[in-house]
């Protein structure tokens, strides 16, 4: 199928139901390498790269389509339909968490559970909402990326990863940022950091697990609490993990939290 090639979809595992993993900004499906194997026995694992990331078809990137998260959500729905996914589990990291919420509303029935890892519906502080950044800080971040993609990547990779005792992970994230086509990276960053999807949280009809890192420069604890307070059937787990990528820095804790939620252990 064309879409499976376009998004570099990889399917494995033995379960009757699917577990789809979606990566965040500047990353690819490899970011789940230490998490998904733990679920292969019970689920059909679906990994993919967003168009513009990893080994996806870069020629399929459409600036108009991907100017909003709905464009990415449409791809998630399309992949699910091609693979005949029903009552699946969606696991989304960072901005992909919001894509999962949108996709679930677009196509009821493809997912039965949503697992959101370090999610945020809005990154900019507004009135009594704490998103983590002022508007001027986001503008500065985007301007820095626009002016020097490689320099921004090498600086921000370790900052976003956190866990200074695991420098190799910060370097990996920085290199992942660097590999992304600069124009696509700039566009995806704007789509990510200027998004405000707080209004859709209350429309979520599925059970949701929110995995919130105890210290995260991109999505502070207040964001996780806000999402928990506004998503009707949600469970919030504050992890011991720090940084924005617990799927890499704390895969064992991430697996345990997901397993406890899915299996009730």
Q: Exposed/middle/buried for 75, CB within 10 Å: 0-12, 13-18, 19+? A: buried
Tell me the C-alpha distance between 5 and 13, whole Å: 19
Active site residue 75: no
- Name the active-site residue from 23, 96, 244, 249: 244
Which 3 state secondary structure label does DSSP give 191? helix
- Based on the residue annotation, tell me whether 23 is a catalytic residue of this protein: no
**3-class DSSP assignment, residue 64:** coil
Active site residue 244: yes
Q: What Å distances lie between residue 43 and 13, 46, 188, 214, CA to CA?
A: 6, 9, 30, 29
Q: Spot the catalytic one: 94, 120, 176, 249.
A: 94
Angle between helices 95-106 and 69-82 (to 10 degrees): 60
Supply angle C-alpha 44, 45, 47, rounded to 5. 150
**Which residue of the set 120, 216, 234, 249 is catalytic?**
216
The set of catalytic residues is: 94, 216, 244
């Amino acid at each position: 199928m064309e879409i499976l090639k376009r998004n570099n979809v990889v399917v494995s595992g033995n379960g009757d139901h699917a577990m789809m993993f979606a990566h965040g900004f500047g990353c690819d499906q490899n970011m789940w390498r230490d998490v998904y194997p733990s679920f292969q026995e019970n689920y059909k694992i679906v990994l993919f790269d967003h168009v513009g990331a990893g080994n996806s078809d870069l020629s399929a990137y459409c600036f108009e389509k991907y100017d909003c998260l709905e464009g990415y959500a449409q791809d998630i729905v399309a992949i699910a339909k091609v693979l005949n996914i029903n009552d699946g589990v969606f696991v989304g990291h960072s901005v992909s968490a919001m894509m999962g919420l949108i996709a679930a509303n677009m196509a009821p029935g493809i997912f039965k559970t949503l697992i959101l890892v370090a999610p945020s519906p809005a990154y900019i502080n507004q009135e009594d909402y704490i998103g983590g950044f002022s508007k001027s800080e986001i503008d500065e971040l985007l301007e820095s990326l626009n002016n020097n993609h490689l320099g921004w990547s090498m600086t921000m990779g370790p900052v976003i990863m956190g866990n200074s005792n695991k420098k190799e992970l910060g370097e990996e994230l920085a290199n992942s940022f660097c590999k992304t086509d600069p124009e696509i990276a700039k566009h995806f960053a704007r789509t990510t950091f200027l998004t405000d999807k707080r209004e859709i949280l209350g429309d979520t009809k599925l059970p949701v697990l929110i995995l919130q890192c105890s210290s995260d420069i991109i999505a502070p604890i207040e964001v996780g609490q806000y999402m928990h307070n506004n998503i009707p059937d949600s469970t919030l787990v504050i992890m011991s993990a720090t940084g924005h990528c617990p799927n890499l820095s704390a895969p064992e804790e991430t697996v345990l939290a997901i397993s406890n939620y899915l299996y009730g252990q």
